[in-house]
Structure 1
Amino acid sequence: SRRSRLCMGADSTDVPEDVGIVIEGCTVLQDLGDVANGCAVLLGLIYCLNLSYPKDLRYTFDFFQKVLMELDGSKLSNKVQVLKNKLLE
């Protein structure tokens, strides 16, 4: 049943019911279709609104932007460069 699946956690093949963006507790966008589209839109919002990356997630967003999205990839921090090199081995 759906209830037991929720208790057990999501599976990698599960399709999300909704993908949205929440900034500082406010839902700004919803029904984005899939996680990849949500991530792209999130980076666009951060850029357009001139927001800083959350301090605890700075390197995660850096990796997202510069390695996965290939935006400004020539200016990698040391941590992101090391991770990129390990992924390319």
Structure 2
Amino acid sequence: MLKGKQKRFLRAKAHHLNPIFQVGKGGVNDHLVQQVEDALEARELIKISVLQNCEQDKNQVAEEIYRPAKAELVQIIGNTIILYKESREKKQIVLPN
């Protein structure tokens, strides 16, 4: 569970990132969740864009992605979801206490 200070730190780090996944009309599926897990292992911090044609609510989309991926939800801002998961092998981000 992330603390407020850690979430602020991650939001600042994610500010310059571009979304690497888009959720559209098809919604969330197992393949997308697996790709998100792989990306989190490689990068630790990612953005996901929820497109206008997505039939699901952005909060529901976020929950369907971060829970199976065992990631932390940093923020949902507009139609963008920010996720964090500490990498087992390629640790790059050091969180403040």
Larger helix share, 1 or 2 = 1
Settle same-fold status: TM greater than 0.5: no
Higher relative contact order (CA 8 A, sep 6+): 2
| TM-score relative to the length of structure 2 | 0.27
Larger strand share, 1 or 2 = 2
Q: Which has the larger radius of gyration?
A: 1
